[in-house]
Structure 1
Amino acid sequence: MRIGIDRERCIGAGMCALTAPAVFDQDPDDGRVVADTAPAPQHHAAVREAVQLCPAGVLTLEP
């Protein structure tokens, strides 16, 4: 699994970081998402949930 991120559209809501804190964080400078784009298998379920919860729809999953 790989995570695609469109940082230009990110609104910094932080739902991803709250849902999967082991994978997502927010940039301290602009509040936009930063992530481990190739998360470990034990985090895949949380990542899928975070992708669905993103209010701006900036996260995508690639096999």
Structure 2
Amino acid sequence: MKAIADRDRCEGLGMCEAMADHFFEVGEDGYVSVLDDTPGEEHRQDVTAAVDACPVLALSLQG
């Protein structure tokens, strides 16, 4: 699984960080950064919840 952030879509709302702060962070610039773009399978539920929580669809998962 690979976590991908589209910084052009990101509005810095922070839902991803609230759901999975070990994997996503909204920086001082107001945009999301992926802290670990290849989380282990044991983290799929948390990462998927964060992706699903993004109201502007700036996050996605491959694999």
TM > 0.5 between the two?
A: yes
How is 1:1-12 mapped onto 2 (pairs within 5 angstroms)? 1-12=1-12
For residue 26 of structure 1, report the CA deviation from its aligned partner: 1.2
Report if the CA contact (8 A) 1:2-1:62 is conserved.
yes
Kindly report structure 1 stretches of 4+ aligned residues shifted beyond 3 Å.
none
Q: Structure 1: how far apart are the matches of 2:5 and 2:24?
A: 11
For residue 42 of structure 1, report the CA deviation from its aligned partner: 2.5
TM-score under structure 2 length normalisation: 0.89
- Aligned-CA RMSD value: 1.0
Instruction: Kindly tell me the number of residue pairs found equivalent between the two proteins.
Output: 62
TM-score under structure 1 length normalisation: 0.89
% same residue: 39
Report if the CA contact (8 A) 1:26-1:32 is conserved.
yes
The reply to whether residue 49 of structure 1 matches residue 49 of structure 2 is: yes
Task: Name structure 1 gaps, 5 residues minimum.
Answer: none
